[in-house]
Structure 1
Amino acid sequence: MNSHHHQDIEWDALGAHREREAGLHAPALTQTMDWLRDLLRISGGGHTPVHRVLDIGSGPGVVTCLLARTFPDAEVVAVDRSPDILERVRSRAVAQGMADRVVTQLRELPSEFDSLCSADLIWSRNGVHHIGDQEAALHSLAASLRPGGLLAVAESGLPPRFLPRDIGMGRPGLQARLDAAAEDAFGEMRDQLPGSAGTVEDWPAMLARAGLIPSGTRSFFTDLPSPLGMSAREYLHTHLSRLRDQIGDRLDPEDRATLERLVDSDTCTGILGRPDAFYLTATTVHTARSCRSSV
C-alpha cells in the first residue's frame, strides 16, 4: 500500500502468490464474510443496508469478489496501488459475472486517503501494517465510513505453521527461527516506512481511538493436515523462496543450507515432496462500527 520498495515488487508473481494463498484460506474467508454479514444484522431480522464496500489493499480480487457475493446489493471497490494487480481484479470479476458491481481504484496510501469514496463496509487484510502511522490510517478509514458502517481489519493472528520441529535435516526448530528472523525483518520494515510511529497494537483500543465502537474480534483457522495437495505445496514453495530472499542473510549457515534444501524442487527433502508438510494458521479480524449520526 505504501510506496516503500514499490519498484522492487514483481506484481504478476505476487498476484499469483496471493491468489494461491486466498485459495488455501477460502473456507476461513467465507466464514469471515458470514460473520461480517451477521454483525451488520439489525433488530427485527434485517440488515444495515450495504450499498458500497471498500476492499483496501485488495490484491488480485479474491476477497473483493467474495465480498460482492456476500453483499449482492453493493458496489465493491477494490483499492490497490498496482495497475497490474487491479487488472487481475477486473479479470476475476468478469469471469465470475460481477463486472457490473466490482470496480477498481488505483490509490497510493496513505497519501491518497482523502480521495477514497465513502462506504458502508470497509475491509482491509494485512494492509494497515504497511502504513507508517497505523493509528492515523485507522482514523482515515473511519472517516470514510458512512453512519452505522463497519470497519473490519484483519491483522495479527498466528503465523503459519507447516513443518514439524524436527524435519530430519539441520538443527531442529527451524520454523521457530524463521519466524523470529521474519519478525525482526518486519520490525525493520515498519521502522523504515515514511511517518513510522510506534504504537501498542491493541487493535480494539486503536479502533476506539479512531472514534469507532468496537464490535467484536474473531479468529478464523485454516487447518490443512498432511499430506498436502500440490496447490498448498506450491504456495509453501513460493513462501519459503521469498523467505530465503528476504531473510536468508539473517540465518546462520546451517539454517540457510536447510532452507535451500527445502526450496530445492528436485529432491524428496524439498517442500514440494515432503510427506510431513502441513498448513495451519489463523487470521484475526477486528471490527468496529461508526457511531456518527446521519443527520
Structure 2
Amino acid sequence: MSGHTHDHIDWADRLVLLRAADTLDAPAQAAIAARLVAKLPANPTVIDLGCGAGGMSTHFAQALATQHGGTIILVDATPELLHEAERAVLAAADAAQNNRADNPAFPPERGGHVATDGDGDHRTSDAGSSNHTAAAGGSGSEVSSNHTAATGSRAPTVEVRAIVADLADSALPDLLPAADLVWASRVVHHLPDQQAAIGTLAAVARAGGVVALAEGGLSFSCLPWDLGVGRPGLEDRLQAAQAEWFVGMREGIDGAVPMPYGWTVALERAGLADVSSFSALVDHPAPGPDGLTDYVHHHLSRLATHGADHLADEDRATLASLLDPDSSHYLGKRRDLFLLGARTVHHGRRS
C-alpha cells in the first residue's frame, strides 16, 4: 500500500522513472555527495528525507565508505520506495567497501562483510553484524535498522536504516536522531508549508550540522528544436505547460502556504547560517547513454499527462506520435536525443 502524500501523486508508480533519473543523474549526484560529505566530521549521521528510490544516498554511502564510515537514515512516506532505497543503498555501501578492501592503499584486516541472499535478506560473515528491528513511534515507523556493511577491521562501516515518516510532520525531529547532514531533494516543494518544513529539517540537524536542499536549477532539455513533426519548439511549450501544472499542484495541496521568496532566504528564515548554493551539471550529449531513450519516453509521458490541459491540440498530437512505437516519428528511432540540465543545492549550517 502506498504512503500518504500531500500532493496526491502516486510516487510508487513512478519507481521506474525515478530509477532511470538516478542513473542519468549519477555523475552530478556523486559530485554533490562528495562536496557535502567533505563538510562533515568523522563517522557522521546523514538523513535523506524523501529519499525516493535512494539514488542520492547510494552516493552518500560510497563517499562515507571511502572516508570514515557513518550512518545513513532513509526517510520516505512511500513504503515501496523506501524498500527499494534501502536495497540500493546497502548494495552501494557494500560495493564501495569491497572496492576499498581490494585497493592496496587500504589493506583489509579483520572485519565483516554483508552479503545478500537471493530473496533479498541480508546476512553477515566474519565479525560483521546485521540486525533487523521493527518499531513504531509517533507518525514514523522504523522498518529496518542496523544493516551494516563493513570490510576490514579499521575500514569504515556504513549503517543503513529506513523509516516511514511524513516530512510535513512537525514531530519529525522527535522520531530521528540528530544529523550531521540533513538532505532533501526535490521534496520540500511538494509539502503544504515549505517554510515550516525547512524549519523542521533544520531542527533535525545537530548544532553545526548541514541542511541541504536540492531544489530548482535549470529545467532539463532532451529534444531537438525541430522534430520534423508538429510546430518547432515543442519542448519550450511542454516546460510552460509543466509550470502551469505545478501551480495547480501547489494549489491543490490541502493547507498550502505560499513561499514568495527563494530557497536561500527560506534557509535563512529557518535560522541557518553560512547559507549558499551550488549547482551540478547533468550533460549527456546525443546519442546519449543506454537508458536515455527510455527515460525520455517516461519523462515525456509524464509531461503529456501533466500538460494535457495546457497544450494545443497540435502539440498533444505531436506528443502522441513521439510516444507511439508504431509511429514513423517514434522517439525510439531517433539518434538526436540528449539530456542537459542542472541540479542546484541550497545549503546552510545550524548554529
Same-fold status (TM-score > 0.5): yes
Q: 2:164 aligns with which of 103, 106, 123?
A: 106
Map Cα deviations across residues 120-174 of structure 1 (whole Å, 9 max, x no partner).
Answer: 1011110110111111111111011101100110000011101122111111111
> Which residue of the partner structure matches residue 85 of structure 1?
81
> Which residue of the partner structure matches residue 17 of structure 2?
17
> Which residue of the partner structure matches residue 270 of structure 1?
330
Query: Which range moves more in the overlay, 102-111 or 114-123?
Result: 114-123
> Which residue of the partner structure matches residue 37 of structure 1?
37
* Cα contact 1:50–1:120 (8 A) shared by 2: no
Aligned-residue offset at 1:215: 3.8
Query: Which range moves more in the overlay, 82-91 or 177-186?
Result: 82-91
Q: Does 1:240 align with 2:300?
A: yes
- After TM superposition, the structure 1 = structure 2 runs for residues 29-178 of structure 1, keeping only pairs within 5 Å, are 29-38=29-38, 40=39, 48-72=41-65, 73-96=69-92, 97=94, 99-100=147-148, 101-111=159-169, 112-114=171-173, 115-178=175-238
Mapped to 1, the partners of 2:4 and 2:218 lie a distance apart of: 23
> Alpha carbons of 1:117 and 1:218: their partners in 2 closer, same or farther (altered >3 Å)?
same
Query: Which range moves more in the overlay, 200-209 or 173-182?
Result: 200-209
Structure ID, larger Rg: 2
Aligned-residue offset at 1:113: 2.6
Map Cα deviations across residues 73-107 of structure 1 (whole Å, 9 max, x no partner).
Answer: 21101100111111112222343327411110101
Mapped to 1, the partners of 2:41 and 2:312 lie a distance apart of: 54
Over the residues paired in the alignment, what is the CA RMSD in angstroms? 1.8
Query: Which range moves more in the overlay, 192-201 or 172-181?
Result: 192-201
Mapped to 2, the partners of 1:174 and 1:50 lie a distance apart of: 48
* Cα contact 2:4–2:78 (8 A) shared by 1: no
Q: Which amino acid aligns with 1:36?
A: L
Structure with the larger strand share: 2
Aligned-residue offset at 1:195: 2.3
> Which residue of the partner structure matches residue 27 of structure 1?
27
Structure 1: 5+ residue stretches without partners: 41-46
Query: Which range moves more in the overlay, 133-142 or 67-76?
Result: 67-76
Q: Which amino acid aligns with 1:117?
A: P
Percent identity over the alignment? 34
Mapped to 2, the partners of 1:76 and 1:93 lie a distance apart of: 9
> Which residue of the partner structure matches residue 211 of structure 1?
271
Report how many aligned residue pairs link the two structures: 282
Map Cα deviations across residues 189-230 of structure 1 (whole Å, 9 max, x no partner).
Answer: 112212211122311111011000134211111111111234
Structure 2: 5+ residue stretches without partners: 95-113, 115-146, 149-158
Aligned to 2:52, what secondary structure does the other structure show? coil
> Alpha carbons of 1:229 and 1:93: their partners in 2 closer, same or farther (altered >3 Å)?
closer
* Cα contact 1:50–1:121 (8 A) shared by 2: no
TM-score (norm 1): 0.90
